Amino acid sequence: MTLYFDHAASTPVAPEVAAAMASVLADPALQANPAADHPPGRAALAVVDAAQAAVATLVGALAGEIVFTSGATESNNLAVLGAARWRRARGRHVITAATEHASVVAPCRQLEREGFEVTWLRPGPDGVIVPAQVAAVIRPDTVLVSLMQVNNEIGVVQDVAALGRLCRSADAWLHVDAVQAAGREIVDVRAAQVDLLSVSAHKIGGPKGVGALVLDESRVQRLDYLHHGGGQQRGLRPGTLPTHQLAGFGVAADLARAGLTTEAARLTALRDQLCAALTAVPGVRLNGQGARRAPHIVSVSVPGVEGESLRLALEGLAVSAGAACDAGHGEPSAVLRCLGHSGELARSTVRFSLGRGTTAAEVDAAVRLFAVGVAHARRLAPAA
């Protein structure tokens, strides 16, 4: 049996979520198009409304401020491209970080091709972008700042409220990728003065293929649309809404909110147990040391072993070699390179991520497998 330590890549669907989705799919009264103006349509719309309310409550927004998307990749694209293009008459400067998720980095590269100037911040050795770095580069023509709350590879937490204050005073819109923060950290768009925020259902026990972009209505009335079609969701993201997906997302959001305090505390204890045991293995280094870290991610690097042999030696563990989204192209992670890791050390990095089902016994078992795997990989590929 494989031990699942890859909750940052995707979480198992919670049983309550699966039940809610199945009941929407099976209910003859909920089969209509939620945009249709007749009683069955309105019954389907009630499912959408409930999901909007649940997601809004999770992030401190109003129900009408939730725009559903196909996932956070789309939310991030819509936020970055949609906001910058919409505000281009005001200015063409954007601030982000080299350590953002690919679904922020790639749209920012696209903006560069369109004539925007993008300032790429690099974190300090602890992996954190500090507000002073933004303050040093923000200017009157900065239209958008896009920085994540919790880094998906190493779990470090950024001070979103301080970024919010800074961006507000410069009238730059702040977009926050809160995919890894939702359900693990407090996410509150109003308190933190966030203008645009991305979340994804499958990172909080919901189904894959659905997410949301949250807009502060008092600040962001429009974006340059990515999709053109019918007028659903005020035209911001047209298309027939997937009622069963949204039912699942809504229940996942409710569960995440209800369990936030207890689950964050439980995961923090497990994370600390994992962290202490992993770093007790000789030579193993914790990434993001010194920074505040989210409760569910532990990233370690193992000097002196070859990445591929380490991966093979950890067969019984479902962990990530970095970000799952980057796993395909074999390049060392940009995040780890920014931390000063050599390409070799970046490749011998393992991310453990915990979630609802993780137990202390599993953490012990994972550490045992890891210690044996590291010893094996060291024998196979001794340090030069």
Can residue 152 be called a binding residue for ligand PMP (CB under 6 A)? yes
Instruction: Give strand ranges (E) for the chain.
Output: 3-4, 66-69, 93-97, 117-121, 142-146, 173-177, 196-200, 211-215, 285-286, 297-301, 317-318, 349-353
Residue 64, Cα to own-chain centre: how many angstroms? 22
Can residue 177 be called a binding residue for ligand PMP (CB under 6 A)? yes
Interface segment toward ligand PMP; rule CB under 6 A; list 60-68, 69-77, 227-235, 283-291: 69-77
Report the distance separating Cα 219 and Cα 43, nearest Å.
Answer: 31
Site string for ligand PMP, 297-336 (x = CB under 6 A): ---------------------------xx-----------
Site residues for ligand PMP, window 184-203 (CB under 6 A)?
200
**The residue to which tokens 């089902």 are assigned:** 357
The minimum distance between CB 114 and ligand PMP, in angstroms, equals: 22
3-state secondary structure of 349: strand
The correct pick among 72, 338, 354, 369 for binding ligand PMP (CB under 6 A) is: 72
- 143: nearest Cα among 92, 107, 192, 177: 92
Which residues lie below 8 Å from residue 188, measured CB to CB, with a gap of 6+?
Answer: 59, 60
The minimum distance between CB 180 and ligand PMP, in angstroms, equals: 5
Q: Which two tokens stand for residue 184?
A: 């693990």
The correct pick among 142, 158, 180, 333 for binding ligand PMP (CB under 6 A) is: 180
325 tagged catalytic: yes
- 122: nearest Cα among 139, 137, 107, 143: 137
Of the two residues 177 and 263, which places its CB atom closer to ligand PMP in the complex?
Answer: 177
Can residue 101 be called a binding residue for ligand PMP (CB under 6 A)? yes
Task: Find the catalytic residue in 108, 167, 325, 338.
Answer: 325
Segment (H or E) for 81: helix 72-86
Interface segment toward ligand PMP; rule CB under 6 A; list 72-80, 86-94, 330-338, 361-369: 72-80
- 115: nearest Cα among 138, 84, 137: 84
Judged by CB under 6 A, the number of residues near ligand PMP is 15
Can residue 6 be called a binding residue for ligand PMP (CB under 6 A)? no
The correct pick among 77, 99, 103, 193 for binding ligand PMP (CB under 6 A) is: 103
* 243-258 and 39-59 helices, crossing angle to 10°: 30
Q: Which two tokens stand for residue 69?
A: 């998307």
The minimum distance between CB 341 and ligand PMP, in angstroms, equals: 19
Residue nearest to ligand PMP (CB): 71
Can residue 73 be called a binding residue for ligand PMP (CB under 6 A)? yes
Residues that bind ligand PMP (CB under 6 A): 71-73, 76, 101, 103, 148, 152, 177, 179-180, 200, 211, 324-325
- Residues annotated as part of the active site: 325
